[in-house]
Amino acid sequence: MRFGVADYGMNVWDGGAFDLEDRLNRLKAIGYEGIERLEAVSADDAVHQAAIYHKTGMAFGTVRGPNASVSIQWAAALGRAYVWTAVTGTDFDTFCRQVNIQVEACRRWGITAALHNHLGTPVESQDQLEEFLARCPACSLLLDTAHLAAAGGDPIATIHNHADRLVAVHLKDWITLHPEIGLENWTERGRFIELGAGNVGLDFKAIRQALVKVGYDGWCYVEQDTHLQDPIKDLAKSRRVLRDAGF
C-alpha cells in the first residue's frame, strides 16, 4: 500500500494551493508519498505539475481538469488508473444513469470512474452505497471510511464485500458534536478530525487488517476536511496513528 494525502482540508486552511513543491516537500517530510489529485487548468499546467511531483519524488493518484471529459483524457495520458465520478444528477436514478455513461467514457480511454461516497450526496448511507454498486456494476469505489461511518455505515464490511471494486481508500475520522442534528445538516452535526480523535468507532488497525486480508495494495489517502491548526501538525498525528495501526 501507498500513503498519501487528499489535500482538500489543506486548501481550506491555506486559502488555496499556492506552492505545490513546498506542499509536497512538507508532506514528504512527515511520511507521505503523494497527493491524491493533480488539479490543473490546462494541459501545460498538468504536465508542469506532473514534473514537480517527479522532481520531489512524490506521486499522484488521479487528475482533475476543467471538466469531466478533460479529466478522463489527462488521467489516461498521465498513466493514472481512475477519475472521480463527476456528474450533474442529484436524484438517485439520474445520478446512477449518468455515472454509467461516465464509466463507459472512461472505459474507452482505458481507465475507470470511481465513486467517492460522501455525506449530503445521493450515495451517503450503507444502503445507498449497496444499491449504487448494484446499479453501476462497472464503477469502481473510492471508499471514504469516515463519510460512511458518520452515516452509520460499516467500512470494514464494505472492504470485505467489495474488495474487487476498491481503487483507493480515504482514511479519515469524524467527531459528532451535536447528535441532535440530523445528517441532512451534517456540516453542523460534526466535523472531520485527525485520525484516532473521532467518536464514530473507526478502528484503523481493523481497517488495515481488512485491507491486507482482501489483498488491497493501492493508495490510502489521509484526509481531514477541517483543520483548527496548521494541517501539517494534524497530518503528522494521523500518520503516527497509521504507523501504530500497522500501516
Mean pLDDT of the chain: 97
Q: pLDDT tens digit string along 184-239?
A: 999 999 999 999 999 999 999 999 999 999 999 999 999 999 999 999 999 999 99
Q: Which residue has the cell 494521523?
A: 238
Cell of 8: 482538500
Residue 60: its pLDDT value, please?
98
Look at phi and psi of residue 207 and say left if phi exceeds 0, alpha if psi is from -120 to 50, else beta: alpha
Query: Whole-angstrom Cα distance, residue 159 to residue 219?
Result: 14
Residue 124: its pLDDT value, please?
97
Which ranges constitute the DSSP H helices of 59-165?
Answer: 68-77, 92-108, 126-135, 145-150, 155-161
Query: Whole-angstrom Cα distance, residue 235 to residue 226?
Result: 12
Residues forming beta bridges with residue 200, ordered by sequence position: none
Those residues of the chain that have pLDDT short of 70 are none
Residue 14: its pLDDT value, please?
96
Residue 186: its pLDDT value, please?
96
Bridging pattern class, strands 173-176 and 82-84:
unpaired
Residue 114: its pLDDT value, please?
98
Q: Which domain holds residue 58?
A: 2-244
Question: Total domain count for the chain?
Answer: 1
CATH code, domain with 26: 3.20.20.150
Contact 167, 140 (CB under 8 A): yes
Residue 122: its pLDDT value, please?
97
